[in-house]
Structure 1
Amino acid sequence: MSDGSPTPIRERTRRLAQIELTTVAQDLFLEHGYEETTVDQIAAAAGMSKRTFFRYFPSKDDLVIGKYDLFGDRMADALDARPADEPVWESLRRVFDITLDYVQDSQARARNDAMDRIVQSTPQLTARYLEKLQRVQALLIGRVAARLGSSASASDPRPAAIVGAAFACMQAARASWLSSDQSEPFGEYLDRAMGALDVDVDSERRDALGGGQ
């Protein structure tokens, strides 16, 4: 939620059910293949009816792509939880901590990579993935704009540039870590990648608060 309020219990319960369904479905996709796995099989494996399944996801495609919505919501919640006076770039670095397990844990990475291959090999899923990726970044761009006091200015390019640069750093860190001997934690690669850009986007806000020199 953009105002930093706690997520309602009903919504948290819904998210947990979606995460469980996604995990069950991924196991079936990896075992039997995406096209061969039916909604009936997913619902049965999750211990629910097909009708209940559709309360959480409109289709099998939505279940696959839905993980990006869940990931985006987690990132937005993580940014909301950061101190309001923390530098924006530092806040984004801390938000990216939620990616550590996806990269460092070999089992989680194998599952994630397998699902990414399914998405990239299925045209309708690829198109929707690109839409969801834009949504994830948009969730953060709006919050960064609010942090900078530019939420009322749609013409301000800084929020989109900052978030885009942060994601580029994360991808660069991931690629470098995977090509290394992985003796160092992925978090250190993230630190170096984001540290390579000396981003100071909070100077105007500090000045407005009387913290400028």
Structure 2
Amino acid sequence: MTESAGSVERLWDRTRRSVQAEIIQVAMDLFLRKGFEQTTIDEIVAAAGVSRRSLFRYFGTKEDIVLGGLADEGTRVSAELAKRPDDEDLWTALRSAILAVEDTDADDERTLAVARMMYGNPSLRARSIEKHLRWQSDLVPEVRRRLGPPEETADLRAAAVVASAITCLDVAGEAWTRAGADQPLAVYFTRALDAVHRR
């Protein structure tokens, strides 16, 4: 790839991210004001100033506007896990890696409102679980390496550990939302993990 082609590609990527972020912002304002189900695609495209075709070039479904980046976070969690010391307890390493990608600069009130919307909407909840499960392919290789022998059960054990951690994150998020974010999500996530691996 030539330098000029690379520059054009980087410009395109920046433009794409900028448009996506603008659509998400506009759509989320509508969702939180009117409700997810009550907000139509036509209302989103009108408010964002884009065509339906453009919107669906960026987002496959209305649910993806809310949760589109969730599946990609698996790569970030995997990178954070690889940075943890090899001699660290696996569950501690997983907890630290998952919490490292949490957006600490997010507006707590808005985050809670979005969480209430997600946990209160069956299609959003299902899509969230589906996207979280895509973390399996990102995390299993590093967890498998850390678990070590026996080789014949390594894949099964690694998949079970990752699935358990993802489920803990989901139930922690639901409990955090129900409690009105009275404590940091990390507190709920730690309690959920402890319930699974310290028995």
TM-score by length of 2: 0.64
In structure 2, what is the Cα distance between the partners aligned to 1:117 and 1:179? 10
> In structure 2, what is the equivalent of residue 18 of structure 1?
20
* Contact kept? 1:102, 1:108, Cα under 8 Å: no
Question: Aligned residue pairs: how many?
Answer: 184
In structure 1, what is the Cα distance between the partners aligned to 2:143 and 2:15? 27
In structure 2, what is the Cα distance between the partners aligned to 1:95 and 1:103? 18
* Contact kept? 2:41, 2:62, Cα under 8 Å: no
In structure 1, what is the Cα distance between the partners aligned to 2:33 and 2:181? 28
Q: Compared with structure 1, are the counterparts of its residues 159 and 190 closer, same or farther at alpha carbon in structure 2 (3 Å cutoff)? A: same
Q: 1:26 corresponds to which letter in structure 2?
A: M
> In structure 2, what is the equivalent of residue 64 of structure 1?
63
Confirm whether residue 145 of structure 1 aligns to residue 148 of structure 2: no
- Residue by residue, what CA displacement relative to the aligned partner does 1:98-129 show, whole Å, maximum 9, x if unpaired? 457699923311222213323x1x5xx66655
In structure 2, what is the Cα distance between the partners aligned to 1:165 and 1:178? 20
> In structure 2, what is the equivalent of residue 116 of structure 1?
119
Confirm whether residue 135 of structure 1 aligns to residue 101 of structure 2: no
Report 1:30-41 matches (<5 A). 30-41=32-43
After TM superposition, give the deviation of residue 163 of structure 1 in Å.
0.8
After TM superposition, give the deviation of residue 160 of structure 1 in Å.
1.0
Q: Compared with structure 1, are the counterparts of its residues 143 and 68 closer, same or farther at alpha carbon in structure 2 (3 Å cutoff)? A: farther
Confirm whether residue 186 of structure 1 aligns to residue 180 of structure 2: no
In structure 2, what is the Cα distance between the partners aligned to 1:15 and 1:85? 33
Q: Compared with structure 1, are the counterparts of its residues 109 and 180 closer, same or farther at alpha carbon in structure 2 (3 Å cutoff)? A: closer
Structural RMSD (CA) = 4.1
> In structure 2, what is the equivalent of residue 74 of structure 1?
73
* Contact kept? 1:100, 1:186, Cα under 8 Å: no
Q: Compared with structure 1, are the counterparts of its residues 33 and 193 closer, same or farther at alpha carbon in structure 2 (3 Å cutoff)? A: closer
In structure 2, what is the Cα distance between the partners aligned to 1:131 and 1:27? 24
* Contact kept? 2:27, 2:44, Cα under 8 Å: yes
Structure 1: stretches of 5+ with no match in the other structure: 1-7, 200-213
TM-score by length of 1: 0.61
- Residue by residue, what CA displacement relative to the aligned partner does 1:45-80 show, whole Å, maximum 9, x if unpaired? 22333332222024xxx1314544411212321321
- Residue by residue, what CA displacement relative to the aligned partner does 1:23-56 show, whole Å, maximum 9, x if unpaired? 3223223333445433332123223333322220
In structure 2, what is the Cα distance between the partners aligned to 1:181 and 1:113? 9
> In structure 2, what is the equivalent of residue 89 of structure 1?
91
In structure 1, what is the Cα distance between the partners aligned to 2:44 and 2:130? 25
Q: Compared with structure 1, are the counterparts of its residues 155 and 186 closer, same or farther at alpha carbon in structure 2 (3 Å cutoff)? A: closer
Q: 1:42 corresponds to which letter in structure 2?
A: I
In structure 2, what is the Cα distance between the partners aligned to 1:174 and 1:127? 14
* Contact kept? 2:176, 2:188, Cα under 8 Å: yes
After TM superposition, give the deviation of residue 157 of structure 1 in Å.
0.7
In structure 2, what is the Cα distance between the partners aligned to 1:12 and 1:154? 43
Identity of aligned residues (%): 33
Q: Compared with structure 1, are the counterparts of its residues 114 and 174 closer, same or farther at alpha carbon in structure 2 (3 Å cutoff)? A: closer
* Contact kept? 1:141, 1:159, Cα under 8 Å: yes
Structure 2: stretches of 5+ with no match in the other structure: 1-8
In structure 2, what is the Cα distance between the partners aligned to 1:175 and 1:33? 19
